[in-house]
Chains A and B, each alone.
Chain A
Amino acid sequence: MQVRNGKDFWAGLMFTGFGLGFMLVAQNYPMGSAVRMGPAYFPTVLGGMLAVLGGMVFFRAFVSKFTYPLKVFLFRPLLLVGSIVVGGATYFAESQLKGVPMVQSALAGLSLFLFIGAFGPRSMFLILLGVVIFGYALKPLGLVLSTVVLIVISAMGGHDFRKKEIVILTIVLVIFGVFVFVKGLGLPFNLWPGE
């Protein structure tokens, strides 16, 4: 049987995966009865429905009117495997790593980056990387430096990296950020490292 609709193929798998996943995790909570529903009742029912719908979409992929190639977006399975391995190791070795939080965070971060990098174009990886770094850098590095990092990295994800423009844009945004976010709205960000 030929897969005609690549999009539906993967969409079906995704839905089924989510549905089964939620059902599985929900087993950790008490189910209760239809009369006195426990915390697991609604998620299990919904998860089941989602899995069924996912199955429908999946099978429809084979008989669909529309044809899409099976390869919907860039996928680097090695990175995904790597991400799961590193993530799993971090999770299970949690007790050993308790004393070394830096290593634990670093491994978790690595797992996250590998995961993001497994899908999609390079531009997405860079943009999401920039966003995540910004979030974690905001307190230690301060608003100014984090903004610089974010703008530069995300601009690298674009098509047209013109150094002079980026520099001007960064300066403008830093000034804007300082005056609107910190001075204007009073958001509790420190401007520079270690304040």
Chain B
Amino acid sequence: MRRLIGLMLPLFLALGLTLACAGASAQNYPSRPIRLVVPYPPGGPLDIMARAIGQKLTEAWSQPVVVDNRAGAGGNIGADLVAKSPADGYTLLMGAVATHAINPTLYGKLPYDPVKDFTPVALVAQVPNILVVNPSVPAKSVKELIEFARARPGHLNFGSGSTGSTGHLAGELFKTMAGVQMVHIPYKGGAPAMADLLAGQVQLMFDNLANALPNVRAGRLRALAVTTLARSPAMPDLPTIAESGLPGFDLTTWFGLMVPAGTPPEIVLKLNQEIVRALNAKDMRERLDKMGTEPPANNTPEHFAAFIRTEAAKYAKVVKDSGAKVE
């Protein structure tokens, strides 16, 4: 009897351990907690949405989705971390326009390859930026602003949340397309930039819609246009920059979920389906609506991958034209 137990016990232990380690099988994915890496500090819109989606996934699958903030180097640190993680579906990245479209050109050398190292899963949100000015600037439209700026080269300051952010690049693109000279003032985050904009230290900013909206509605800032090609449903009366004299101007801040390249397609598909379902839930739609956007249409992994490719090409040109560079 003892000999039997002595034989069976290690066998059972081995079996149990093997079963525990075999969690990567797509059949029972997910079978353990999932790590969602957010390459920015906690509290920003990307982080909030990541937590919201994480919560929805947790509810759907009864496995905790834990958000791991890995900020730094414009998002590169977090992205690099996931790029080098095992492709078993248990490490996700909330990638953004910065990590996958801007940084490849902005930073001379990236520790990861945004195309080869990742498999896109689903786009989460595409948020427009709006051009807001301090009321001290007498321009009431984009055209007036351009005239004002042309008459005073080098006088206007525009703020942004960081060098290489969409706010910064929008300003640079504006300068190039409108032929005006403005000075870029970088800040550590959108909040201090907004503070100085309200105070009048900087005169304009291309801030994301959700952040700027409250102060616009309170009359402390004047909104001139949105940076997307199409008008935003949250502010349908606001013209786009493209229709205000700079045709073709199109910049959004977007972010979406990605996994390391080589993740089994069944897992990618499962993630995509659940995320799309989460995004279309009533409360999520409300949140996205408050951010000035709606759940992306036709949200498949392939569509997202194609989107990233076009964005990367677009930003490669914008960054190069602006001359912005980070060592």
Contacts and interface: CB of A to CB of B under 8 A. Distances in A.
B66 interface: yes
A188 B66 CA distance: 8
Size band of the B side of the interface? Answer: under 10
Main secondary structure of the interface of B (DSSP, over half): strand
Interface string B283-319: 0000000000000000000000000000000000000
Contacts of A188: 33, 35, 66, 68
A26 B157 CA distance: 29
Interface string B23-62: 0000000000101000000000000000000000000000
Interface string A159-195: 0000000000000000000000000000010000000
Main secondary structure of the interface of A (DSSP, over half): loop
Contacts of B68: 188
A182 to B, nearest CB: 12
Size band of the A side of the interface? Answer: under 10
Interface in B86-111: none
Nearest to B68: A188
A81 B209 CA distance: 58
Nearest to B66: A188
Nearest to B33: A188
A115 to B, nearest CB: 26
A188 B68 CA distance: 10
Interface string A40-80: 00000000000000000000000000000000000000000
B324 to A, nearest CB: 15
Contacts of B35: 188
Nearest to B20: A195
B30 to A, nearest CB: 15
B135 to A, nearest CB: 29
B51 to A, nearest CB: 14
B82 to A, nearest CB: 16
A47 B295 CA distance: 52
A184 to B, nearest CB: 15
Contacts of B33: 188
A188 B35 CA distance: 10
B134 to A, nearest CB: 24
A74 B33 CA distance: 48
A64 to B, nearest CB: 43
B315 to A, nearest CB: 24
Nearest to A188: B66
Nearest to A39: B327
Nearest to B35: A188
B287 to A, nearest CB: 24
A114 to B, nearest CB: 29
Interface string B123-141: 0000000000000000000
Nearest to B32: A195
A188 B37 CA distance: 13
A188 B34 CA distance: 11
A59 B186 CA distance: 43
A188 B64 CA distance: 11
A188 B65 CA distance: 11
B327 to A, nearest CB: 8
A180 to B, nearest CB: 18
4 contacts: A188-B33, A188-B35, A188-B66, A188-B68
Interface of B: 33, 35, 66, 68
Closest 4 CB pairs of A and B: A188-B66, A188-B68, A188-B33, A188-B35
